[in-house]
Amino acid sequence: MFKNIFRKNKQNSKGKPRIIVDKREKNSLVIAELIEKGVEVDFRYLKVADFIVKNTAVERKTISDFLNSMINKRLSRQLQELKQYPNCLLIIEGIEEQELYNDEGKGINGNAIRGFLLDILLKYKIPIIFTKDYQDTAKFLIVLIKKQKRKHISIRAVKKSLNKKESLQYILEGFPGIGPATAKKLLKKHKTIKAIINTPVEELKQFIGKKAEVFKLLEEKY
């Protein structure tokens, strides 16, 4: 199916609406839908963003990917990197296929998700679009192509380099339950990650509470 669509895309591309797409999205149903609708797809290796539409960079997340990247802090870095472009937005796909909030005590707390969405809007100042499914995502991208003025921008965005303090904080935030505030609190007191690891868990509990139990993982065998 995809081979036929890509072959069709190469023919008579002159004058077609055009979008730049990260090569890792090549097998996405969104791409098949775009090509089927007559969009010329230009595959590139993009270090930042999934799509570039003229002067706008777009990051796309399915709901499960959004929740996972929220937990492991990957999305926070992606949002910072996305800001290198003049315009950017985040698409969260699949609101008719999967529940975003769970207020019944299972999984991620619903208010934690709402708080993160507010951070995206207020802290990062990145607009969010919620789409029903991959077809709806493709429709939004096509409308975006039509609305954008013809302006060429560089796709040479780079991954954000962290300074020493940010790197130390980033490592600590990799532990479940250790957020930015707790990571900074620990580093201010103990100065190094080695010192934190060497501190007895019971002592860490007195400082940051029950979340210190996560450091018991360091003693577990794989």
Residues 10 and 17: their CA atoms lie apart, in Å, by 13
| Number of domains making up the chain | 2
- Look at residue 219 and tell me whether its pLDDT is greater than 90: no
pLDDT exceeds cutoff 80 at 160: no
Say whether pLDDT at 203 is over 70: yes
Instruction: Give a yes or no: residue 156 inside a domain.
Output: no
Q: pLDDT tens digits, residue range 59-115?
A: 999 999 999 998 888 898 899 999 888 899 999 999 888 888 876 656 788 888 999
Q: How far apart are CA 182 and CA 172, in angstroms?
A: 9
pLDDT score, position 18: 87
Its domain, for residue 168, covers 164-219
Q: Both 169 and 195 in a single domain?
A: yes
The angle that helices 63-71 and 110-122 make with each other, rounded to 10 degrees, is 90
Q: Please, are residues 4 and 27 in contact by the beta-carbon 8 Å criterion?
A: no
Residues 210 and 108 in one domain: no
Task: Note the pLDDT of residue 30.
Answer: 96
> How confident is the prediction for the chain on average, in pLDDT?
83
Q: What is the pLDDT of residue 6?
A: 46
Residue with tokens 């018991």: 216
- What does the pLDDT read at residue 49? 93
Same domain, 143 and 169: no
